[in-house]
Chains A and B, each alone.
Chain A
Amino acid sequence: MHLPISDKIELNILHQNSHQAEKNKVKFNNYNLLCLNIMSSPGAGKTRLLEITLEDLSKEFQSAVLEGDMTTNLDAARLEKLNIPVVPITTGRACHLDANMVSGGLKLLEKKINPNILDILLVENVGNLVCPAEFEIGEHFKVALLSITEGEDKPLKYPIMFREADLILITKVDLLPHLNFDINELKSNIASTNPKADVIEISSITKSGFDLWQKWISKKILKFKK
């Protein structure tokens, strides 16, 4: 046996995932397809958000969805009713989507439709405020949802998720009159964690804030396609 050798490599542990995420992004760019990674805890309203958003968005843009779910295709089935291409990705034991899963989902999408005709790909991640934040999928922007029933402190408790997000949607704001919830405290906690993030308050019941959210998406798509 020879003497011990130390090899300094300074390599990102997640570099395999990052490498695949880069490949996904190149594909999205070649298709001229904007990709959003939609993340939140379970029950914050991701699927309902997509249902309402896609109904309006499809008047102007061609959309598709990759739908991450640990065990079922229930959310994918809801979105398929909107007559847009939806690919379910069942993650099994994994509590987040990774770049390889999204690459697989994209291959299935390519069999359904020519992605060149699409403007936007919405990827609904698995409901979780921890893991999805660390695993890039090749997205152009990260959107995090936080429902007011989750509490004002969540940006401080799950800082990586909210730090990484480009846009934070505060959902279920129609419930504000019924809850002992301080939305200013939540906004202050968001600003503490990520002062650069855009923040929009929305309600899937009253549809308040959806105009701003749709404008945010449209602006991103048009800028991307320039």
Chain B
Amino acid sequence: MHEIDMTKCLILSMEEWAEKKNKEKIVVEKINLKIGEFTCVEPISLINTFNSAVLGSWLDSSEITIETIPFEGKCSKCNSSYFPKKENGYKSPCCNFNLEEIISGRELKIASINFKEK
């Protein structure tokens, strides 16, 4: 259900961006997102919610693309990076240490916007 609120935030951010571009004179083609694996967002749900929310609006013809950013941690004992797994309690496979530092995977970003001027 939080994808609805995420979509609301996304649309508000798009409105804010478009105000600076003169909204009437542009057509947004793609909104390129970066979503980390270690977030509460389900990409498909976000896309579906967005598509329903923008029907009939100025973003109706726009498409969401999502680049999934892997969940990567750093072992605090030997400093090597690794991909934490739930099954392993997120521990580092090298030293069996608890996950202290997250390198990536918490991203919830609008990376870029592809648009055309009318």
Determine the main DSSP class of A at the interface with B. mixed
Q: In the assembly, what is the distance between CA of A205 and CA of B6, in Å?
A: 39
- Nearest chain A CB to B116's CB is how many angstroms away? 5
Q: In the assembly, what is the distance between CA of A98 and CA of B6, in Å?
A: 11
- Find out whether the CB atom of A12 lies under 8 angstroms from the CB atom of B2: no
- Interface residue range, chain A: 35 or more
Knowing A1-B117, A12-B109, say if A159 contacts B38 (CB, 8 Å).
yes
Please tell me the number of chain B residues within 8 Å of chain A, measured between CB atoms.
37
Determine the main DSSP class of B at the interface with A. mixed
- Find out whether the CB atom of B89 lies under 8 angstroms from the CB atom of A156: yes
Chain A residues numbered 53-99 whose CB sits less than 8 Å from any CB in chain B: 93-96, 98
Q: Which among A7, A157, A195 is the interface contact of B99 at CB below 8 angstroms?
A: A195
Q: Does A188 contact B (CB under 8 A)?
A: yes
- Find out whether the CB atom of A7 lies under 8 angstroms from the CB atom of B113: yes
Q: In the assembly, what is the distance between CA of A133 and CA of B109, in Å?
A: 17
Knowing A134-B39, A188-B89, say if A17 contacts B9 (CB, 8 Å).
yes
- Nearest chain B CB to A117's CB is how many angstroms away? 33
Q: Does B95 contact A (CB under 8 A)?
A: no
CB-defined contacts of B113 to chain A, threshold 8 Å: 6-7, 9
Q: Which among A2, A3, A11, A189 is the interface contact of B13 at CB below 8 angstroms?
A: A11
Q: Does A37 contact B (CB under 8 A)?
A: no
- Residue numbers of A with Cβ under 8 A of B are 1-17, 93-96, 98, 130-131, 133-135, 156-157, 159-160, 163, 188-189, 191-193, 195-196
